[in-house]
Amino acid sequence: GAGVSQSPSNKVTEKGKDVELRCDPISGHTALYWYRQSLGQGLEFLIYFQGNSAPDKSGLPSDRFSAERTGGSVSTLTIQRTQQEDSAVYLCASSPRSGRAGEQFFGPGTRLTVL
């Protein structure tokens, strides 16, 4: 079956612009996660969605970052007024359900470059 997909694969933007990154999880997966992978910080958790519960936003680095998940499926991560330090690979993952040590299935990521 299809895995987690992310778009775009690469995004180059100018400082101060807004960007939207999209994640399509595996069909039927109720949990969805966003991580950021940067050279200096490694892999960092950003946000977690589980069903209709309130998302865990504890990893979002600033109020310029937001995410939503529509219809319990597709998710969009929005970064407003991008800064050069936002340059990183943004990874999305999904898993069948929470409450278990289920594998998180990762997408190929979106490489964001802020000039």
Interface residues toward other proteins, by CB under 8 A: 31, 33, 35, 42-45, 48, 50, 56, 58-59, 89, 91, 93, 98-101, 103-104, 106-109, 111
Residue 103: DSSP 8-state: P
Amino acid symbol at 104: Q
Nearer to other proteins, 22 or 80 (CB): 22
Nearer to other proteins, 36 or 114 (CB): 36
What CA–CA distance (Å, rounded) separates 93 from 106? 4
End-to-end CA distance of the chain: 37
E strands of 1-115, at which residues?
5-7, 10-13, 19-24, 31-38, 42-50, 65-69, 75-79, 88-95, 105-106, 110-114
CB of 1 to other proteins, least distance (A): 15
CB of 29 to other proteins, least distance (A): 13
Selection from 32, 29, 38, 80 nearest residue 56 by Cα: 32
Nearer to other proteins, 19 or 109 (CB): 109
CB of 40 to other proteins, least distance (A): 10
Nearer to other proteins, 70 or 100 (CB): 100
CB of 58 to other proteins, least distance (A): 8
